[in-house]
Structure 1
Amino acid sequence: MKNSPSYTVTSVDHALQLAVILQVEGPLRVSDAAERLGVARSTAHRLLSMLVYRDFAVQDENRWYAAGPVLSLATRSHSRVSLLRQVAMPFVESLATHLDESANLMVLFGDHMRFIGTVEGNRVLRVGSREGSVFPAHLVSGGKAILAELPPDELEAIYAPQAWAGREQDRPSLSALREELHGIPAAGFALNVEGTEAGVTAVGRVVRTGDEDLRAAVSVSLPSTRFSTDVLGSVVRGLIAATAGIERAFGRKIAAEAR
């Protein structure tokens, strides 16, 4: 379970968020960074300049910033994740608005889920943004939904003892995990009931991208005090509509790129 520190250093938090965006989604401009963080362009420029200085970012001749040597990932991963976020966020926003609860877009990286987009609900009591956060895949609803649909050999590889060297105490029992994941594909959703944060329940559903290297999910997070069977039905129906819309739109984008 992750707990927020008793105090936060805003500039550090912003720099770390930018580092994650560059690593997972790829290049961006100062204006993009300012919009994502909700800060002035001058502030975004100073943050990006410091990332460049420390080799977390590089700037090209067109003034775009990209992941530097410290953060470099495959270019294909960058472009597909960035494209997915571009396509998916309007549907995530619509889902959050319809339910008036926080909705999230996340992707699988190894044995963790990275939250690459959040739209918060408008209620006073709501779950805050998870954008930029990383959680163990087997604990979050979207991660469970994805893991439940993986081929058995791929699931075994992710949770093989050798893959968790140095952090064996955090590795879940594979047999217990399989038992927990059983039935999720048939249900079409997965639950996280206070598994990552006290007082928070989340419902997740897979986004089928058609790309085995890009496994994604959408989730809805809400205070556990508002969760009920009736609410679950509404959330699942919203997730079905949102993920179907994302899958169609993403498929059209990929097809257009291929032409």
Structure 2
Amino acid sequence: MKNKPVYAIDSVDHALHLAQILQQEGTLRVTDAAERLGVSVSTAHRLLAMLVYRDFAAQRPDRTYTAGPVLRPAQRSEAPVALLRRVSAPHLHTLVDGVQESANLMILAGTEVRFIATVECARILRVGERAGRVLPAHLASGGKAILAGLPATDVGTLYEDVDGIDVPKLRRELALVRKRGFAINDQLTEAGLTALGVAVRGSSGAPEAAVSLAIPSARFDRNQLPTWVAAMTAAATRIENDLAARR
């Protein structure tokens, strides 16, 4: 039997309870959430909004809420997450200082990428925290950068049972990513956001992670691509070198 902590934080308890309900029972209206928790509708709305922000919930077109990506069974990644996060931190900060755009580190988990670190830039209009979020790998810039470094047979195996994926088309896009040395996501996963991604490779040459720059689309300028890609590639190389030195 579990006892409630003496110094329980009600807002945290409510948010976790809502996440549990969404995972176990499915869709939920704001009024249902308020009734289940015994709180006002406005409080329930704020709690659900925070769960959506952290990907524990998703809002449907009919304004009901359902479990988000974080509450789905997560596919395991072989990447050394703790080491990657620790090694990448100073290099992400250096990258952000140089280009004044937010930077992320992500890993591949099945057909998705999981963001494991974010450094935000200081500009008023900026892309915010992404750590913990999950996106389809074939759409995310970092996901495409990682996929492009995998053998074509591995990509085919990964997506052979995934509905709605044109594998030959994906392979052609990944070939272009390999040729360019970077991937781009122009508002494929979020309106108003354009991202660039480059792979971070392990000692074997296989991609272990990806560095991405997340740029408000209103500020995206293709003339800046050489500068951005060069800065990202340098950051990825420094991360690779530090990874090799610590193994």
TM-score by length of structure 1 reads 0.65
Q: Residue 239 of structure 1: CA displacement?
A: 0.5
Corresponding position of 2:157: 157
Distance 1:247 1:194 in 2: 28
Determine the C-alpha separation between the residues in 1 that align with 2:157 and 2:107. 18
CA deviation string 1:157-189 (max 9, x = no partner): 11012xx3xxx2xx3110111122222112110
Within 2, Cα distance between the matches of 1:72 and 1:178? 22
- Work out the number of aligned pairs and report it: 188
1:223 aligns with 2:186: no
Distance in 1 (alpha carbons) for counterparts of 2:129 and 2:220: 19
1:112 maps to: 112
The match for 1:233 is 226
Unpaired segments ≥5 residues, structure 2: 1-43, 57-72
Deviations along 1:113-153, whole A, 9 cap, x unmatched?
A: 00000001111111111110000000000111111121111
**Cα deviation, residue 230, structure 1:** 2.3
CA shift, 1:71, in A, is 7.7
User: Which protein is bigger by CA-based radius of gyration?
Assistant: 2
**3-state SS, counterpart of residue 183 of structure 1:** helix
Answering whether residue 172 of structure 2 is matched by residue 179 of structure 1, we say: yes
Paired residue type of 2:137: A
Distance 2:91 2:46 in 1: 31
Please provide the CA RMSD for this pair. Answer: 2.9
1:126 maps to what in 2? 126
5+ residue gaps, structure 1: 1-5, 19-69, 255-259
Matching of residues 53-202 of structure 1 within 5 Å = 77=78, 80-161=80-161, 164=162, 168=163, 171-202=164-195
Q: Is the 8 A contact 2:142 2:183 kept in 1?
A: yes
Q: Which runs of 4+ in 1 moved over 4 A?
A: 10-14, 70-74, 211-214
Identity %: 40
SS at match of 1:106: strand
* Residues in 2 aligned to 1:71 and 1:154: alpha-carbon distance in whole angstroms: 20
Contact 1:127 1:223 in 2 (8 A): yes
CA separation of 1:72 and 1:204: change in aligned 2, threshold 3 A: closer
- Cα distance between partner residues in 2 of 1:196 and 1:8: 24
Change (3 A) 1:151 1:201: same
Indicate the structure whose relative CO is greater, using CA pairs within 8 Å and at least 6 residues apart.
1
Q: Which amino acid aligns with 1:219?
A: S
Shift of 1:240: 1.2
Find the residue that maps to 1:222 and give its secondary structure: strand
